[in-house]
Amino acid sequence: MYRRITLFLFTTVLSLLAIAPAAAQECCVIVEPPPFGPWNVTVDYHRVNATIADQIATTEVEMQFTNDGEGLAEGTFIFPLPEGAAVDELVMFIDGLAIEARILRAEEARAIYNEIVRQYRDPALLEYIGTSAIQASVFPIPAGESRQILIRYSQVLEVDNGLINYTYPMQSALIDQVIGQMSVSVDVTSNDPISSIYSPSHNVLVSRAQDTDSAFRVGFEQLNFIPGEDFNLFYGIATDTINVNMLSFRESANEDGYFMLLLQPPLSLPEDQIIPKDVIIVLDQSGSMSGSKWEQARAATSYVLENLNPRDRFNLVVFSTGARVYGAEMQPVAEAPAAIDWMNNLFAEGGTDINLALTTALDMADGDRQTTIMFMTDGLATEGVVETPSILENVAAAANDRTRIFTFGVGDDVDTFLLDRLFQEFRGAGSYVRPSERIDEEVASLYTKISAPVLTGTELSIDGARVELLYPATMPDLFAGEQLTVVGRYRDGADTLTVRLDGEVNDTATSFVYDELSLRDNAGGQPFVARLWAQRRIGDLLNTIRLNGESPELVDSVVNLSVRYGIITPYTSFLIEEDDILTQQGQDRARADFEEEAAELNANVTGGAAVDAADDINNMNQAEAPMAPPMSANEPMDADEAEADMAMGGAGGGAGDLNLGVTQNALTNVNSKSFVNINGVWNDTTFDPDNMTTNQVTFLSDDYFDLLEEFPELTDYFALGDNVIVVLDGIAYEVVPEDAS
C-alpha cells in the first residue's frame, strides 16, 4: 500500500512516497495526510552558516532527514530561495554520492507551489509564490536510515538608510514539525566600521571582534525547535561618532506610519574621552539582607568599585537604622580597595531608612559632574520617613539635573512604586532581582553598560514630518557600546527626516545632525516596527495605570491596541479567551474585565504579584524587539503547552518572556497584521463583524487563485489556512472551505 505525505519545513518541501514491501505493491491507495500529525520523516538538524563580506552574503545550509517509518521514503526536495539569491552549489550526500539539482525560475516554481497547494489542500506554500527555487530528486531513504543535504547560495544585500539586511526564510504558517536542532550562525566582515547590530526576530548572541570594529558574529541555537518567523538581521555601517539608522513602515499610504531609530555610540572610547562621573552606591544593610543577599550585594559593590574609570569618583552609603558613609566627600579611584575592605567588615542588621539613605547620597552630588546613584534594597521603608510620596518629594528636592538613579529591587518585599518612579524620573533604569537570581550578576551587567558615558542630558528632535508618541518618551544618556532603540509614529510630512541629538560632552554642549533619512511615503517597509511601537505603547499605558490608577481612556487604549496588534499581556489575556472579541459586545465585556484588573494593578505596591507586574511592564517598555506571539499558529495549546512554548522563546524565538498562561484561541502575526483563531476561522483583528460584510472566495477555486494574481499581498494571509478573513484597503476578504460554499 502506498502512503503519500507532504512535509512543509521552513523553506523546505518534501513530497514523500512511503513504499510498502514488494508483496503488497499489487494495488495502491493514495492516502491524503492529516493537516497535523506524526510524520514518517523527521528532521534531525537544520544548520545555517552565513558569511557576509562587504554586502556579499554566502549561505550554507545543512539538513539531515531520518526515515522513522516502516517502508522506503522518496520524493522531491524543493527549497524556495531568498530574493536575489544565486545558487553556487547544491549537494545531497547519499552514501557519499552527490545528487544533481536544477534551479526553477519564479514562474516555474509558482506552478509547482500552486500544484502542491491544490493537490494536498495545504496553503502553506503560498508564502513562497513569486520566488525562485531549487528542485532535486530524493533517492529512497530506507526505514531507519538518514540522508544529509548541503546547499550553498550567494546574494547581494541591499543598503537602506545605512542598514544592511540579511534574511534567512524560516516562516511557515502551518508547520508543526519539531526540528531536533536548529542553529544559525552569521559572520560579518566589512571594509568600514560596523555600528548597530539588530535582530527583530530572534534572541541572538552578538560577539564583536576584539581587535577590530569591522567584524562581528551572531549566533542562534535551539533544540526541539518549532519553525516560526524568518530570521532577520540588520547591521549598520558607521559614519559618525554616534550613528543613527532608521527603518519605517506604513500599512497603507492613507495611514500614519511607524519608524524606528537605532542609535549606536562608539563601541569604546579612549580614557580621556569618557565623561568622568561620580558613582554613589546606596546599599541596604537591614537585617532582612543577611545571608546570601548581603554577600551578593557586597560582591556587586566590589565589582563596581573595581571597574571605575580613572577619572571617576565614588562613595558608599550603607543604611539600615540610620546611614553610614565611607568618606566625608567623594573619593578618588585609588581609595576603592580601602572602601571594599571597610564594607566587608559590616554586617546586615537593623531597620530600613530609605529616605535618609537617598537624601544623604544626593547631598554629596556635585552639580558640575554626572552623578550615578546605584540603589540596592530588599524591603519597604520602616524607619524615618516611610510614606512613598514624601520620599519622592524629598528626593526630587535634593537632586540636581545631572543625577541619574538606577534601582535594584531584591526579592518580593520591595516598594515597586517607589523604585519605578525613582529610575523613571531620574533617567535611570530599574531591575528586579528575583529569589532565583543573583544580585551581583544583575548589578555587574548594568554597570558594564553604563560605565562609559558618551552623551549626557540627551535630547532628540525630528524635523520633516509630524512625529508623535515616541518611546522612550525621555531620552536616557548614551553610553559607549550600548545601542538605543527609539520608536514612534509619523504623518503629514516629506519622504525624508532630519534627526538631531543634543547633549553634553565633558560639560560642552554638543549636537549631532543626521540629514536625509528616508521615510516610507507609501505602503511597505518593515512590519515589525509597528508591533514594536505598539508593544512599548501598551507597556507605557500599563505603567501609567499601575502607578497612577486606571481611567476609561487608558483602559480603552490598552484594549484597542491589544486587539489591533495582537499583543497580549498578563492583564489582557481576554484577547484570545473570548470568542466574540472582535464584536462591540465582546470588546465592551473585555473593557469591563480589564477595568477590574487595572484597579488591582494599581492597588498592589509590594509582594510577588506586584513585582511580577512591575518587571513585566518594564520589560515591555524597554523591549528592543517585538515580542513573539505566545502560541504557534496551527492549533490551540493548553496553559501548560503555552508556558512551555514561551520558555523556549515562542514559536520561532523573538523577544519577550512573559508567562501568559494562554488558553482556548490561537493568535499569530503575519506581516503587520494580527489574526485570532475564533471557532476555526483566522480573523484579521481589524475586521469589524458588526459593520463589515465579507467578500467570500472558495478555497482553491479558480477565483481564489485569480484573486491572488490580482492582489499578491494577500498570499501571506491566505497561507494561514482554508478559513481566513483578512481586511485589505478597507475590504474584507473571506476564504471559505469548499463544503462551506
Cα–Cα distance measured from residue 397 to residue 666, given in angstroms and rounded to the nearest whole number = 50
Q: How confident is the model at residue 124 (pLDDT cuts 50, 70, 90)?
A: low
Cα–Cα distance measured from residue 33 to residue 71, given in angstroms and rounded to the nearest whole number = 16
Cα–Cα distance measured from residue 152 to residue 150, given in angstroms and rounded to the nearest whole number = 7
- 636, with CB counted inside 10 A (0-12, 13-18, 19+), is middle
Quote the pLDDT of residue 199: 93
Residues 624 and 476 in one domain: no
248 pairs with which residues across the strands? 259
Domain count of the fold of the chain = 4
CATH of residue 485: 2.60.40
Backbone angles phi, psi at 97, to 5 degrees: -100, 140
Residue 19 lies in a domain: yes
Residue 176 near residue 226, CB atoms below 8 Å = yes
Domain boundary among 493, 526, 559: 526
Q: How confident is the model at residue 39 (pLDDT cuts 50, 70, 90)?
A: very low
Determine the average pLDDT of the residues in 192-200.
Answer: 91
Name, in order, each residue with C-beta under 8 angstroms of 726's C-beta and a sequence gap of 6 or more: 673, 675, 684, 687, 714, 717, 718, 732, 733
Residue 697 lies in a domain: no
Residues 431 and 302 in one domain: yes
Residue 558 near residue 677, CB atoms below 8 Å = no
Residues 498 and 538 in one domain: no
Residue 738 DSSP code: G
> Cell 502506498 maps to which residue?
2
Q: How confident is the model at residue 223 (pLDDT cuts 50, 70, 90)?
A: very high
490 pairs with which residues across the strands? 257, 467
Residue 378 near residue 410, CB atoms below 8 Å = yes
Quote the pLDDT of residue 654: 36
Cα–Cα distance measured from residue 594 to residue 555, given in angstroms and rounded to the nearest whole number = 7
- Condensed to tens digits (0 to 9), the pLDDT of residues 307-335 reads 999 999 999 999 999 999 999 999 999 99
Cα–Cα distance measured from residue 528 to residue 732, given in angstroms and rounded to the nearest whole number = 23
pLDDT at 635 over 60: no
Residues 138 and 196 in one domain: yes
pTM: 0.83
CATH of residue 360: 3.40.50.410
Structure-block grid coordinates of residue 117: 497547494
Residue 576 lies in a domain: yes
CATH of residue 177: 2.60.40.3680
Backbone angles phi, psi at 328, to 5 degrees: -70, -20
Quote the pLDDT of residue 128: 66
Q: What percent of the chain has pLDDT over 70?
A: 84
List the domain range (segments joined by +) for residue 495.
243-270+454-526
Cα–Cα distance measured from residue 290 to residue 311, given in angstroms and rounded to the nearest whole number = 34
Domain boundary among 504, 526, 548: 526
Residues 520 and 534 in one domain: no
Residue 123 lies in a domain: yes
> Cell 509614529 maps to which residue?
489
Domain boundary among 505, 526, 547: 526
Residue 524 near residue 671, CB atoms below 8 Å = no
Residues 434 and 521 in one domain: no
Residue 731 lies in a domain: no
Exposure pattern of 31-51 as b/e (b: 16+ CB <10 Å)?
A: eebeeeeebbbbbebbbbebb
Structure-block grid coordinates of residue 183: 542553529
Residues 555 and 483 in one domain: no
Cα–Cα distance measured from residue 272 to residue 334, given in angstroms and rounded to the nearest whole number = 18
Determine the average pLDDT of the residues in 436-443.
Answer: 92
Quote the pLDDT of residue 95: 59
Beta strands (DSSP E) in 10-117 are 12-19, 41-53, 56-67, 72-80, 85-94, 97-98, 102-104
Quote the pLDDT of residue 36: 33
Residues 545 and 568 in one domain: yes
Residue 583 lies in a domain: yes
Residue 733 lies in a domain: no
Residue 712 lies in a domain: no
Quote the pLDDT of residue 94: 59
Listed residue (100, 106, 101, 64) closest to 85, CA to CA: 106
Cα–Cα distance measured from residue 110 to residue 32, given in angstroms and rounded to the nearest whole number = 22
